[in-house]
């Protein structure tokens, strides 16, 4: 089996492995074992079949995931990071008019812009928001209380009784992460968050939460772009083998658009072959590899700042992003992009002490 495809084969087996670890009344350990064996055999016989079949545009079902509880999540999201309240409102309304109905935002200014957009949106929106990171040294009980307080604050500000996906940031303390995760599980059980997940969790942070979780994270939201390898240094394989899907940000690079990435020969050649821009290829590679993706409205962004200052500035690139499902890279192009090892990056770019790699939060 080709190495770039190995993590995909492992991902196909994740649910069967879960059944083996904790078989239901309807599935014995023997039948779970058969399921695992069959899954590995199928993966070996047709590696990357789902991805390789995408010589044509992505099928409709790939545009939406079904999270636990049968929650439909659009796999392409607008990332409002760094936008002002007014620019957030503009970007959300423009994106929704073009078919991008998943909005990924932070609490505070961006949330308030989303709240304004909700009043004018012509269609329902899928809302993903994130918890603020507790300060270093925070007590576990205080961190859990902060989850409840922020969620209550956000729901009031949004004028809603629930969000669709609530994401928790990592922390240097495992006890703090476990206490916060229990608070997220409570919010899900109470219907205040339809799904719950994590942000910038390295393997160690995921292990911490998974060891005691009653509900596994639906997604791990971390940086991934061409040049980092399709497996994000093993993080995708580990998460997806435990049933945690990959929700990627930074397809153009972070904390700013990466000229080495977008100007690289492999992206440029694929772009020229399809009559596209390199940033379209960068986004398409992630979607076609099976990730959900959160993308900025334009390539004009930096750490803590982004722009959608006018319809003229924002609508054309959003239209390009909305059309990402309408074309496909070839299998050879996907292999070439999978094989890129530069410009590399740290998938958990904004993580805490305890996760490997450089982070602007620790500089």
Q: Which of 110, 62, 346, 117 is nearest to 232 (CA)?
A: 346
Between 57 and 42, name the one with better pLDDT: 57
pLDDT at 357 over 70: no
Polymer length in residues for the chain: 363
> Between the CA atoms of 299, 104, 241 and 70, what dihedral angle is there, to the nearest 10 degrees?
-140
pLDDT at 260 over 60: yes
Residue in the block written with tokens 């239209």:
319
Which token pair is 133? 């990171």
Helical segments of 79-202, H only:
85-97, 109-120, 140-158, 174-189
Provide the CA 303 distance to its chain's centre, in angstroms. Answer: 19
Instruction: Write out pLDDT tens, residues 115-148.
Output: 999 999 989 999 999 999 999 899 999 999 999 9
Q: Which of 277, 270, 236, 228 is nearest to 253 (CA)?
A: 228
pLDDT of residue 355: 82
Instruction: Write out pLDDT tens, residues 71-94.
Output: 999 999 999 999 999 999 999 999
Secondary structure percentages of the chain, helix, strand, coil, to 5 = 45, 15, 40
Distance, in Å, from the CA atom of 318 to the CA atom of 56, rounded to the nearest integer, reads 22
pLDDT of residue 210: 98
């Amino acid at each position: 089996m080709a190495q770039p495809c190995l993590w995909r084969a492992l991902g196909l087996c994740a649910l069967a492995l879960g059944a083996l670890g904790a078989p239901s009344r309807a599935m014995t350990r023997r039948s779970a074992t058969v399921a695992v064996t069959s899954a590995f055999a199928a993966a070996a016989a047709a590696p990357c079949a789902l991805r390789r079949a995408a010589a044509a545009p992505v099928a409709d079902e790939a545009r939406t995931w079904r999270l636990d509880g049968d929650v439909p999540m659009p796999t392409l999201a607008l990332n409002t990071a760094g936008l002002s309240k007014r620019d957030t409102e503009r970007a959300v309304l423009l994106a929704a008019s073009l078919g991008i109905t998943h909005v990924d935002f932070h609490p505070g200014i961006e949330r308030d812009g989303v709240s304004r957009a909700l009043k004018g949106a012509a269609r329902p929106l899928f809302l993903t928001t994130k918890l603020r990171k507790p300060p270093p040294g925070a007590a576990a009980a205080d961190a859990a209380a902060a989850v409840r307080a922020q969620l209550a604050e956000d729901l009031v500000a949004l004028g809603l009784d629930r969000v669709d996906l609530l994401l928790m940031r990592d922390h240097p303390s495992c006890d703090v992460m476990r206490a916060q995760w229990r608070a997220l599980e409570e919010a899900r059980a109470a219907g205040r968050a339809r799904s719950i997940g994590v942000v910038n969790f390295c393997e160690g942070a995921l292990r911490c939460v998974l060891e005691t979780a009653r509900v596994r994270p639906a997604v791990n939201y971390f940086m991934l772009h061409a040049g980092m390898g399709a497996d994000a240094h093993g993080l995708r394989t580990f998460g997806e083998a435990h049933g945690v899907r990959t929700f990627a940000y930074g397809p153009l690079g972070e904390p700013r658009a990466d000229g080495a990435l977008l100007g690289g020969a492999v992206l440029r050649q694929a772009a020229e072959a399809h009559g596209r821009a390199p940033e379209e290829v960068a986004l398409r590679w992630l979607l076609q590899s099976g990730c959900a993706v959160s993308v900025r409205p334009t390539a004009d962004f930096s750490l803590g700042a982004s722009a959608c200052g006018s319809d003229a500035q924002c609508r054309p690139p959003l239209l390009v992003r909305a059309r990402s499902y309408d074309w496909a890279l070839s299998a050879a192009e996907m292999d070439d992009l999978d094989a890129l090892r530069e410009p590399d990056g740290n998938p958990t770019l904004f993580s805490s002490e305890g996760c490997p790699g450089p982070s602007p939060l620790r500089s």
